[in-house]
Amino acid sequence: LQGPGLHGAGRISDRFWSPRLELVRDVVVPYQWEVLNDQVPDATPSHAIENFRIAAGEQQGTFHGMVFQDSDVAKWLEAVAYLLQHERDETLEQRADDTIELIARAQHEDGYLNTYFTCQAPGERWTNLCECHELYCAGHMIEAAVAYFEATGKRRLLEVMCRFVDHVETVFGHESGQIAGYDGHPEIELALMRLYDATGEPRYLKLCRFFVEERGQLPHFYDLEWERRGRTHHDFGAGTQPFMLHKKTYSQAHAPVHEQDRAVGHAVRFAYLCTGMAQLAQRSDDKALLATCRRLWDNMASRQLYVTGGIGAQAPEESFTTDFDLPNDTVYGETCAAIGVVFLARQMLAAEPDRRYADVMERALYNNVLAGMSLDGQHFFYVNPLEVDPKVLADNPILEHVKPVRQRWFTCACCPPNLARLIASLDRYVVGCADDTAWVHLYIGGEFELPLSAGTLRLHQETDMPWQGAVTLTIGADVPVQARLALRIPAWAEGFEVSLDGERLDAEMSSNGYLELERQWQDGDRIALRLEMPVRRVYPHRALRHDAGRVALQRGPLVYCLEQADNGERLHDIALREGGIVDTLEGTDALSGMTLLRAEALRENAAGEALYRFDDAPTYTRTEAVFVPYFAWANRQEGEMRVWTRELPRRA
Amino acid sequence: LQGPGLHGAGRISDRFWSPRLELVRDVVVPYQWEVLNDQVPDATPSHAIENFRIAAGEQQGTFHGMVFQDSDVAKWLEAVAYLLQHERDETLEQRADDTIELIARAQHEDGYLNTYFTCQAPGERWTNLCECHELYCAGHMIEAAVAYFEATGKRRLLEVMCRFVDHVETVFGHESGQIAGYDGHPEIELALMRLYDATGEPRYLKLCRFFVEERGQLPHFYDLEWERRGRTHHDFGAGTQPFMLHKKTYSQAHAPVHEQDRAVGHAVRFAYLCTGMAQLAQRSDDKALLATCRRLWDNMASRQLYVTGGIGAQAPEESFTTDFDLPNDTVYGETCAAIGVVFLARQMLAAEPDRRYADVMERALYNNVLAGMSLDGQHFFYVNPLEVDPKVLADNPILEHVKPVRQRWFTCACCPPNLARLIASLDRYVVGCADDTAWVHLYIGGEFELPLSAGTLRLHQETDMPWQGAVTLTIGADVPVQARLALRIPAWAEGFEVSLDGERLDAEMSSNGYLELERQWQDGDRIALRLEMPVRRVYPHRALRHDAGRVALQRGPLVYCLEQADNGERLHDIALREGGIVDTLEGTDALSGMTLLRAEALRENAAGEALYRFDDAPTYTRTEAVFVPYFAWANRQEGEMRVWTRELPRRA
């Protein structure tokens, strides 16, 4: 089944992204396998595979790890599926098949599958949805099953998960003896929509709708199940109220979704829930639900989104805070949350193509998401601050979550596998098709299928993005196909030129930010798009308290930052001059191949040792400041970093 | 006994401070009595007086409150003592005497006195010094005893506490069976020095020295006593390691004091410890210990002090963070910690008169300390931020401690009684005497005794500080007295003029920041000092990341701030112009009688709804910004507040 507005798969072949995909294949996914199998000497054992062996009755022992440990195996399998889709690898496929068989053996007769409850608390299935991630784990395994089926044609895991979902369907509902509830961590919703897409089974869509619509209803499900199970907390036992029971915004369960109008709570939960809702709205043509998604998106994108595409302004609850509140140093900005933004943007694009979604998707992808992984693919950021001073981190607990260098991954291994599956499936984010229109959302080199009503086109993209703004799109077609090709003009492009087979076109951008080219496309048609990619100065909305008087630099989709490695200590002492020249320069060593920026700047002079001085305004010395792409920060020595730089107006 | 450099008592009669002293007398102390006696309907019962009744065996029941609940009664008594010293009040004195008798009846045969251990854990005396505040409570009661003795001449409580200290002396020491330890919360040190001053008993000084010198020695006392008592935690029982055991910097117990070179840990603990150390150094002429105090002071004052005189940059541990790290919104800046700065500054002045101590004392007193109490004396801040946006507080847990309006006081009632005792004893901070020199540290109206080697002078101060910089000092003397009068020239004074009996003197400031006038003083001599008090622009050290590009306004000792009440929302959008005019205006309504400031300013214009925009630098509209004294903020409606304001240089 290929619904309207869906995004097809393709094959990435891109100077920027292919090496990253290879890192995922050669470094991340193999390392992840070792972690799952407790083969990394320095890491806390994951136990994730062993949990399945114990659940399958093939090994003695007890469950270890987080209650959602199973999802680590699912994410690995999903990433493997995408890798296999790109390139067959018998050893890897055998390993995946074996793992799938192990998973199948851990499944109960009735279809239930979850190693925590099987091993640890067999009598407590479905008694603590609020905290225990059963449907969340199911969702990740469904995603893996669908991806593996799509990649290999093998139905084994798909069938396992369909059986589980069939069981879930009997457990949840409004009939007597059923549970009218939902998971504390959204994920099952988007997974059920993927399963629906893969199988065409309308029951899955219906079950997804059930979970979406139950959320936040009164009397509140979390309260009811808490009473039913005798007021116990998953971690702290009897009597302690779970945090989520008290703070229902945390899991977006404070109100029915159609009454929600702001992005609140745990940022990853928010993005996953909305992704599922957007899919559901689009597949079921539910305009009211789509309006809800749009409302929540708009609040997120226009009031709570970092310039790096990150979300989640506060660390203690990994959550949004409130409108126009985006601190740069205490931010959480979890890699997984930015990945969630990419997921959600993709579904919003499927529902209603508009560059505002693609602009944010690209912003998140090239900045917050990509910063999550080191250039060598071996180290990861969970938290992505926009301002770091390593000297102060150890001495203030509110910065405890911020790391000045990327870490190997350990106990709660959400971000690295999430990065792996996103990068490995990046081809699914590039183009979209519905009826007679194909949209090009991202300019990433490769070959993409465009199944249109009048026939299928192949689109071959070549580009040096994000470093250069030129893109060549070559059409492959077995027969001529009448269709509209809609090319996104990113908001960062100061202008553009487009030509077809060498002839300049006088095309205009449509209101949704796409350049629409309609004709009968022939094999070999060649579109050349040149996006003007000057350095842009990004200014914050005046309500953004933490960025007042500051500017960020962006070139193409890349947001830049200052690092101590290039600029010395005290980055806050550097100020750009309004309208000052910024030019590009080539990165060297660790940053070779990258375009850096060099800006006319002023540097505050020392003015004695006094902590405070009277009437002696700071003076400045002219200097040059070097900016590096945000995604590439912290790949040299540990040091300060800052995205928003002071800017002094020419005249006050 | 009146040692060198001590500060005598006097009588405040001052247009600014007298009404505040009356608030303490008429509102704070009576309310505090009601709280202690559980007579405030809306407040959590304090139980503090009841605890003493139970401990005395006069009432059935169990202990309630914090482990240091006794200190609330002590602080009340101490404040009462100062009030009685100013003005006899038979009812109040009877109430105090009754309370003292109750305390005496709660004392054990052996001198021990602590209602928590008497009622709750009689077998556990002295087993958990790290957490349980036994010596801290003793210290506060000693302070009360000394103050009450000095005010009334009554020795009852002093004798009770001397008996307790005699007992403590048998418990602590290096002999077999004795404890070589010290309290987790310094306070006993400064209290023992006060007791030494009041009684002249050298054993008290010696005991103080023991506690100071034991601190931070290895093997570590906290570890030893933890093992001895079977590894229990005061709050969480067996097995849980007390936080302070793990983090010894918290209680300044990470190293022997002579090895410490930075202000670390809990800000109040730091200030109290150093206060005791400075007293000990001065009374015992211990130059090495004084050097330690100076080193710690200098780190605090030149790298970790807010412009409001506050300390404690982080809330989770109510602690310092690190050098040059002074966030304005997440700060703790506890009222008690700033009071501790005042205590410490007073002792440093006694040890070595230098205006740098008095400048900080005054800064803390007129800003952070005074902001702790509302203008009506009924509401209190524990936390004193330099930047507040009430809209964001509820949604970010790292701002949970910040209140946008002052609160009534409840469970952990440290700050209001601390404010009460400081304001009631403010006369002790104004002047200091040693040998033939009297120093005037603060310009506060009243009558002060100056006991000098050649005889006693009376100093009558009249002033309109902090609003006007003129001070008249009139000498009272029964016989002419040859002496040096040293008048502090505050760092904020741009210049000064001094005249004697109408004749201008051509005096110069000495290197320690005091103007020294030496002569044979006659009754009726009249010194007129005029301190120039223009509005000063305060600029931060360039290492202060959070204040970069910003300025604060100060006039006299008062630091000013912007409030929403005068300037509307989004105070971060207001920028001063370098060198722009700032003039004064009279406050009205709640702020009547105060001098406000009006500054030429620029206000950032709206620039559309986009969260981020390209290449469209902010534009500004000229406006006027109104600043109010920081101490007076939040006395009108709830709203934003900001001390550090952006400043735009004239040319960049």
E strands within A174-273? 232-233, 237-238
Q: Which of B301, B398, B604 shows the shortest C-beta gap to A314? A: B398
Nearest one of A147, A20, A6, A148 to A448, comparing CA atoms: A6
Q: What integer is the mean pLDDT of B15-20?
A: 97
Query: How many CB atoms within 10 Å of residue A347?
Result: 25
Rounded CA-CA distance A308/A540 in Å is 12
The pLDDT value given to residue B408 = 81
B605 in contact with A at a CB cutoff of 8 Å?
yes
Are residues B612 and A541, on separate chains, in Cβ contact within 8 Å? yes
- The answer, yes or no, to whether residue B57 has pLDDT greater than 90, is yes
Query: How many CB atoms within 10 Å of residue A227?
Result: 10
Write the single-letter amino acid at B636: R
Phi, psi of A489 (to 5 degrees): -100, 105
- The answer, yes or no, to whether residue A1 has pLDDT greater than 50, is no
Q: Which pair of tokens denotes residue B112?
A: 């021990």
Rounded CA-CA distance A174/A188 in Å is 18
Helix (H, G, I), strand (E, B) or coil at A162: helix
**Range with the poorest average pLDDT among A38-52, A405-419, A492-506, B180-194:** A405-419
pLDDT one-digit tens code per residue, B349-365 = 999 999 999 999 999 99
Over the range A110-149, which residues count as b (16 or more CB within 10 Å of their CB) and which as e? Answer: ebbbbbbbbbbbeeebbbbbbbbbbbbbbbbbbbbbbbbb
Nearest one of A276, A117, A300 to A182, comparing CA atoms: A276
Q: In angstroms, how far is the first alpha carbon of chain A from the final one?
A: 61
Q: Which pair of tokens denotes residue B403?
A: 């209140």
Higher-confidence residue of A210 and A232: namely A210
- The answer, yes or no, to whether residue A356 has pLDDT greater than 70, is yes
| ipTM of predicted assembly, 2 dp | 0.96
Rounded CA-CA distance B625/B562 in Å is 8
Are residues B398 and A315, on separate chains, in Cβ contact within 8 Å? yes
A298 in contact with B at a CB cutoff of 8 Å?
no
The string of DSSP codes covering B395-408 is: T-GGGTT--SS-B-
B61 in contact with A at a CB cutoff of 8 Å?
no
The pLDDT value given to residue B458 = 95
Q: Tell me the residue length of chain B.
A: 652
Q: pLDDT tier at A438 (50, 70, 90 boundaries)?
A: very high
pLDDT one-digit tens code per residue, B316-372 = 999 999 999 999 999 999 999 999 999 999 999 999 999 999 999 999 999 999 999
The pLDDT value given to residue A508 = 87
Q: In angstroms, how far is the first alpha carbon of chain B from the final one?
A: 61
Nearest one of A384, A554, A337 to A466, comparing CA atoms: A554
Q: Is B22 a catalytic residue?
A: no
Q: pLDDT tier at A5 (50, 70, 90 boundaries)?
A: very low
pLDDT one-digit tens code per residue, A248-294 = 999 999 999 999 999 999 999 999 999 999 999 999 999 999 999 99
The pLDDT value given to residue B4 = 36
Are residues B542 and A573, on separate chains, in Cβ contact within 8 Å? yes
**Residues in contact with A365: Cβ distance below 8 Å, sequence separation at least 6, in sequence order:** A309, A338, A342, A429, A442, A557
Closest CA–CA distance from residue A303 to any residue of chain B (Å): 6
Rounded CA-CA distance B283/B276 in Å is 11
- The answer, yes or no, to whether residue A633 has pLDDT greater than 50, is yes
Are residues A548 and B572, on separate chains, in Cβ contact within 8 Å? yes
The pLDDT value given to residue B8 = 61
The pLDDT value given to residue B443 = 98
Are residues A548 and B301, on separate chains, in Cβ contact within 8 Å? no
Mutate to test the interface with A, among B305, B398, B550 (most CBs of A within 10 A): B398
CB A484, CB A454: distance < 8 Å = no
- The answer, yes or no, to whether residue B375 has pLDDT greater than 90, is yes
Helix (H, G, I), strand (E, B) or coil at B553: strand
pLDDT one-digit tens code per residue, A71-85 = 999 999 999 999 999
Q: pLDDT tier at B7 (50, 70, 90 boundaries)?
A: low
CB A266, CB A317: distance < 8 Å = yes
Q: What integer is the mean pLDDT of B265-272?
A: 98
Write the single-letter amino acid at A143: E
The pLDDT value given to residue B416 = 87
**Residues in contact with A237: Cβ distance below 8 Å, sequence separation at least 6, in sequence order:** none
pLDDT one-digit tens code per residue, A540-590 = 999 999 999 999 999 999 999 999 999 999 999 999 999 999 999 999 999
Q: Is A131 a catalytic residue?
A: no
pLDDT one-digit tens code per residue, A459-477 = 999 999 999 999 999 999 9
**Residues in contact with A558: Cβ distance below 8 Å, sequence separation at least 6, in sequence order:** A366, A367, A466, A629, A630, A631
Are residues B539 and A618, on separate chains, in Cβ contact within 8 Å? yes
The pLDDT value given to residue B315 = 96
- The domains of chain A are located at 431-531, 538-648
Block residue for tokens 């230098």? B354
The pLDDT value given to residue B411 = 54
CATH class held by domain B431-531: mainly beta
CB B430, CB B441: distance < 8 Å = yes
Burial of A505 (0-12, 13-18, 19+ CB in 10 A): middle
CB B486, CB B492: distance < 8 Å = no
Residue A398 CA, chain-centre distance (Å), reads 25
pLDDT one-digit tens code per residue, B423-474 = 999 999 999 999 999 999 999 999 999 999 999 999 999 999 999 999 999 9
Rounded CA-CA distance A295/A288 in Å is 10
pLDDT one-digit tens code per residue, B503-552 = 999 988 999 999 999 999 999 999 999 999 999 999 999 999 999 999 99
Rounded CA-CA distance A597/A580 in Å is 13
The pLDDT value given to residue A42 = 77
Catalytic residue, chosen from A134, A189, A225, A318, is: A318
Q: Which pair of tokens denotes residue B181?
A: 């330890």
The pLDDT value given to residue A4 = 36
| Helix pair A267-283, A287-303: axis angle to 10 deg | 150
pLDDT one-digit tens code per residue, B486-504 = 999 999 999 999 999 999 9
A495 in contact with B at a CB cutoff of 8 Å?
no
Q: pLDDT tier at B3 (50, 70, 90 boundaries)?
A: very low
B648 in contact with A at a CB cutoff of 8 Å?
yes
